[in-house]
């Protein structure tokens, strides 16, 4: 994909860096939703997958990528450019590109209203309000609707 301007490319680069950092952070914790009967909620942006096994694969690849990043993060020398270079060649990136292209996994927008269809272990299957398709995500990404 060609970007129109260098400024847009830089903004996208920082956005990918921030998104992956949040994704990796959400994968490193286990939090059960505060209200187990909660059915309507809002989501913090995350990749969602139609198939629960795909989501578990995504989580495993994210954890693997996090382990690869750890030395650079601990050294304090991580920059958005270095992150982008590492991400570009990662298994996580290749897997996501393939699954996003097929529509089996999609990025769910920050703050959208969701309905919880199913719970399983540390993941939930949610669908954006008004939609029919359910996507598996980490339960850490949802918050009660206020």
Q: Which residues pair with 128 in a beta bridge?
A: 114
**What's the sign of the alpha-carbon dihedral 42, 134, 97, 75?**
positive
Q: Which residues pair with 124 in a beta bridge?
A: 119, 137
Rg of the chain on CA atoms, in Å: 16
Q: Which residues pair with 138 in a beta bridge?
A: 123
Q: Return d(Cα 3, Cα 22) in angstroms, integer.
A: 24
Q: Return d(Cα 65, Cα 78) in angstroms, integer.
A: 14
pLDDT in tens, the chain (146 residues): 333 433 333 333 444 544 454 444 444 332 233 333 345 556 556 899 999 999 999 999 999 999 999 998 889 888 899 999 999 999 999 999 999 999 999 998 888 888 889 988 889 999 888 899 999 999 888 777 66
Element (DSSP H or E) covering residue 107 = strand 105-108
- Is 27:139 a contact under the CB 8 Å cutoff? no
């Amino acid at each position: 994909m060609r970007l129109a301007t260098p400024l847009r490319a830089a903004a996208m680069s920082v956005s990918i860096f921030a998104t992956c950092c949040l994704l990796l952070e959400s994968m490193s914790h286990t939090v059960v939703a505060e209200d187990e009967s909660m059915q309507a909620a809002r989501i913090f942006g995350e990749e969602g997958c139609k198939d629960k096994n795909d989501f578990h694969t995504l989580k495993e690849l994210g954890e693997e990528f996090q382990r690869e990043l750890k030395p650079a993060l601990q050294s304090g020398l991580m920059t958005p450019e270095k992150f982008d270079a590492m991400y570009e060649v990662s298994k996580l990136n290749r897997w996501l590109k393939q699954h996003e292209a097929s529509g089996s996994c999609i990025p769910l927008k920050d703050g959208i209203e969701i309905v919880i269809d199913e719970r399983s272990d540390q993941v939930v299957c949610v669908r954006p309000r008004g939609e029919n398709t359910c996507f598996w995500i980490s339960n850490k990404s949802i918050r009660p609707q206020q």
